[in-house]
Structure 1
Amino acid sequence: MISKERSQKDIRLGTHGEDYGSWMSNPVFYMVGGLTALAALLAVLSFAVFHISALSILSVTIVAGLLALLGRITWIRWQYAFGGGGMMERVHQTVLSYLDYDWIWLCFCI
């Protein structure tokens, strides 16, 4: 029985112009950013125009929570980005390491 040594080149994702995007889409950021802006507007109006201190305290608390959420989802998106933390690149490398390239090429040649 003859065994052949297979040599495969390392594949570096993103070197051929691939852009897989992100698992967290832009509308998520638009929604959280819009809610933050709306809550900030409500906080300013309730403090400056309506002089309702309970509503302004509640609005400022909501703004702080939404800003924390916006910061967290931005950090998470950066961690998964190919140019950032590179977590998705490591996932793709793991998946690609289990593929048998020679076998796949043979299927397409037949």
Structure 2
Amino acid sequence: MKRNQWKQENIRLGTHGEDYGSWMSNPVFYIIGGIMEQVHRVVLSHLDYDGQEKILEVGCGSGALIIRAALTWSKAKVIGIDYWGAVYTYSKALCEKNAVSEGVASRCVFQHGDAKQLDFPDESFDVVISNYVYHNVMGADMQKLRNMGYQDVRLIDTAQEAFGSHR
């Protein structure tokens, strides 16, 4: 697979007051060196995508990854879905606010949805991504996704590329 050649170095999420949240405290999050940014760069670098069509993120949380995709590909239409349970402070309104602040709201759509029952016609997206959602998906079977028509189904271990080690 050809690695994505798009430049992401100059994209800095959260520089306009956005709230992307985190499951760890902000000081820890930023001291470690922007874990989220590193992982998102790695995920997007694995896409064989021309930047022209639609991307779906399943489990978009606060919208950080799908907003980064919109910033990376200026012609992409991006859609983020999430269940947005009460456990996290993420919501559709938060995602929309972040997209407005980052200047990509016109190309971002966020909606409530269940990963087990996606409500989109077949072949609606060129790329479907998901990040840090595996802990919410029980009994995931990647072959089942292939049988459903998904192509190039992969689980990307971001630890080595993002941090140089699996530790």
Bigger radius of gyration among the two: 1
Larger RCO: 1 or 2 (CA < 8 Å, sep 6+): 2
More helix by share: 1
